[in-house]
Structure 1
Amino acid sequence: MRLRNRPNGQVPPARPCVIVCLMSRVVRVLLPWLAVLAFGYLCLGLLIPNTLALSLDPNFITGFARGLFIRNTGSIRVPDGFGVAVFAQGLYHPTALALGPDGLLYAAQLSGEIVALDGATSKVYAAGFSAPLGLTWHDGALYVSSRNTVSVLENGVRRDIITGLPASRHQTDHLQFGRDGRLYIGQGSRSDHGELVCIAPLEGTVLVADARGSNLRVFARGLRNPYGLAVHPETGDLFATDNGKDVPGDGVPDELNRMVDGGNYGWPDCYGQGKGANCAGTIFPLAEFQEHSSADGMAFYTGSNFPADYRDNIFVALYGSNSGDPYVGRRVERVVLEQTATGYRASVSTFATGFDHPLDVVVGQDGALYVADFGSGRVYRIAWGS
């Protein structure tokens, strides 16, 4: 099915599941307490970013409280030969990073501001976004994903090129331009494990559109929350992280997937290497991360600062859990890819630890790896030999 934008840039509304949706509305009218719960659920979705999506599981309360108040107070730990420095601090929960054509680092904040960082100062570049989670530069313009919307900033002018995208528990995530010049968009689902009666056609997908936001369609589906996107620098293949469901103890891992046009990655029924139900025809993950670790922002290493064996490796920020063990995640993983006759083989190891809640990574113009720590409000710079 090919979904196109309307002339005003809005996504066409999904056709309702007539009988089932009507019944669900009747139930909500007859049972007011469900409406109260739904209201609280939506309020939480408005106040926190999608990677912090909450679970109504009974174990959530204690897990969330522990996750909020336990902080990593030690130093950032990296392999021998690497050094770490604070590049920027005092940010309001940085959610995304992008390297600008001017060599500056741009950071989105939960407050709705985007700031330009040079390592000494922070200057507001744009403001007024609702929970921006994705940044990418293309042809001198900055593309921003926020709640329900994808926008373009060019010559000081903001244009909302796609609107009306699904948002509740999750929202629109990272943005990435492919070698084909098209814009790829991670679009989270509105639920944890598919508990909504009607799943909208655009949710739980990777979307693709042209650079102006038109010709929007689903590129791949079956993804709970594809937060991070990155293109292989040699092959041009698209990769995405995906967050497993939040229910504590469910054994559902977070994932790294190679995205293919028309692919189905299993959510909400199938997960991991063929576990769950309705797995026929689904694509299994290339690599798995610990359950509830929240695999989010990712970047291929394309710089020259690190040793040669890091070239084309993937770095993935594991935000950690707010609905289970607060010590899960909170690190940056290294994924080494090996091309095979049928695709890729991946091996995962820990690269850096000691963060509060790392949410995004990017390779700078100097070849260093920059890590946005949502929890501490800092951006760290990791470089070889410093």
Structure 2
Amino acid sequence: MKLKGVGVLLGLSLIATGAAQAAPRVAYKVSGICDGWPRLAIDAAPGMCAGLVAGPTPGAFAQRQLRLPRTLVPLDDGRTWLVADLADWTRPRGVVWRLTVEPGQPVRLEPLLTGLSLPHGLAIGPDGLAYVGEMSRIFRFDPRASDPAATVAPVITDLPDNRLHDNRHPLSQFVFAADGALLVNVGAPSDQCLDDKGARVGTDRCDQSEGDEATAGIRRYALVSPGRWSPDFTMLARGLRNSVALAVHPSGTVLQAENSYDLPDRWSPFEELNRIEAGKHYGWPYCMDRATPTPGAWSGAMDCASAAHTPPVALLPPHVAPLAMTWYQGAMFPALRGKLLMSWHGYRSTGGRLAAFAVDAKGLPVTRPRATFPTYPSGSRPFGAGPAAQAEILTPGWGKVDGVRPQGTPVGIAMAGDGAIWVADDKNASIIRFAVDRP
């Protein structure tokens, strides 16, 4: 079998950073074939391997086409994909690419839209058009048109201008709810609702979570007619620091994976998996973990063990930075069917993983006592008292190994028509395909 994309993929030099000017740190080692693609030195679950679809060429990271690929979706025949490339955190250099795969041919990348401000959210809508979440708006366009840029039309335009966020929660992620409404993440503009002097932003309550600005939560825009949403929103849920990971189960359940506080403690706080329900408050910046008051300025501002605080349905390992999740419905991996897949983007010893969870009929992870979580380079730690979800780690060896690989930075997850799992690895500027381990 011919290697797909040979001209783009072999001997790649990848960097575990998004800065174009940085020198290469660790190269992915490519050896052999993974289901027709150049095989990466990522240790995957038994029967699974990692193949490289697209990435930088040796010694030319600064000239790469993909810069910070965040999310991806298959388009039409499965050989065509859309990729949202954030590209730059400080300047409007984002791109939506069309990635085309042809058997035995190099992968082709074509820019459809350029000059975007922090494009992250990407989905095919009920009308078949592509929807994109930029920093301050959501728009749609026709990726099949001869001139896609001419088809761009605004959908939601009143999102906060988050460019000055000091903890980088500016990304407009969104999902379509079961009733057709658009649910939109608006991240908190700080880590703990403190100003640059460490003082509260607010008096009795945090202005960033409770005030008219309506940040640190999820907005709901009602569907008013096919392809049109109300310009006015309601706050579906509050007290959520960062809701980049949003997903809607076929049963209608809305899940959010929370990126918790950036406390210096390596093992605290835990990240959270929350079932989103209308009108609930999930604790930021007053509470963390199940019912623990957040230490510091806001301690005591909310009774975290009361009905005022909605606790997570499951804890996730500390600092894993969950950035995407979906329920696997493919045919390639029968043992994964129905399970919740989640990317752990975090740079600490708990991050850099693709995880799976067994779920119930509503798509909620099944919890158990004495659950543990893995750490790099090896080992595991307990969650402690109370039940937690036990993750099945699909990439047990994706930590940094000199001369072999950088630590993975997975973001978007998507299923191909054949059931392969495609992942955007943003800081390593790559698209990776996890498939059955065969030539």
Q: TM-score range by the shorter chain?
A: 0.7 to 0.9
Per the alignment, residue 238 of structure 1 pairs with 254
1:110 has 2:86 as partner: yes
Q: Which amino acid aligns with 2:152?
A: R
**Cα displacement (A) at 1:89:** 1.8
For normalisation by structure 2, the TM-score amounts to 0.66
The 1:102/1:124 distance shift into structure 2, 3 A limit, reads farther
Q: Which has the larger radius of gyration?
A: 2
The 1:208/1:101 distance shift into structure 2, 3 A limit, reads farther
The 1:343/1:358 distance shift into structure 2, 3 A limit, reads closer
Q: Percent identity?
A: 27
Gaps of 5+ in 1: 1-51, 53-66
Q: Which amino acid aligns with 1:92?
A: R
Matches within 5 A, 1:1-386: 71=26, 73=28, 75-90=41-56, 91-103=66-78, 104-111=80-87, 112-119=94-101, 120-138=107-125, 139-154=127-142, 156=148, 157-166=151-160, 167=162, 168=165, 169-196=168-195, 197=201, 198-199=207-208, 200=211, 201-209=213-221, 210=223, 211-214=227-230, 215-233=232-250, 235-249=251-265, 251-276=268-293, 277=300, 278=302, 279=304, 280-281=306-307, 282-307=309-334, 309-321=335-347, 325=348, 327-339=349-361, 345=367, 346-352=389-395, 353-354=397-398, 355-386=407-438
**Cα displacement (A) at 1:144:** 0.8
**Cα displacement (A) at 1:69:** 7.8
Compare 312-321 and 155-164 and name the one that shifted more. 155-164
**Structure 2 CA distance for aligned equivalents of residues 202 and 144 of structure 1:** 21
- Is the contact between residue 172 and residue 185 of structure 1 (CA under 8 Å) also seen in structure 2? no
For normalisation by structure 1, the TM-score amounts to 0.75
**Structure 2 CA distance for aligned equivalents of residues 217 and 94 of structure 1:** 31
- Is the contact between residue 359 and residue 365 of structure 2 (CA under 8 Å) also seen in structure 1? no
**Structure 2 CA distance for aligned equivalents of residues 385 and 134 of structure 1:** 30
**Structure 2 CA distance for aligned equivalents of residues 295 and 71 of structure 1:** 23
Gaps of 5+ in 2: 1-16, 30-40, 57-65, 88-93, 102-106, 196-200, 202-206, 294-299, 368-388, 399-406
Which protein is richer in helix relative to its size?
1
**Cα displacement (A) at 1:237:** 0.9
How many residue pairs get aligned? The number is: 315
**Structure 2 CA distance for aligned equivalents of residues 165 and 71 of structure 1:** 38
- Is the contact between residue 239 and residue 281 of structure 2 (CA under 8 Å) also seen in structure 1? yes
Q: Which amino acid aligns with 1:372?
A: A
- Is the contact between residue 272 and residue 315 of structure 2 (CA under 8 Å) also seen in structure 1? yes
- Is the contact between residue 330 and residue 419 of structure 2 (CA under 8 Å) also seen in structure 1? yes
Per the alignment, residue 28 of structure 1 pairs with none
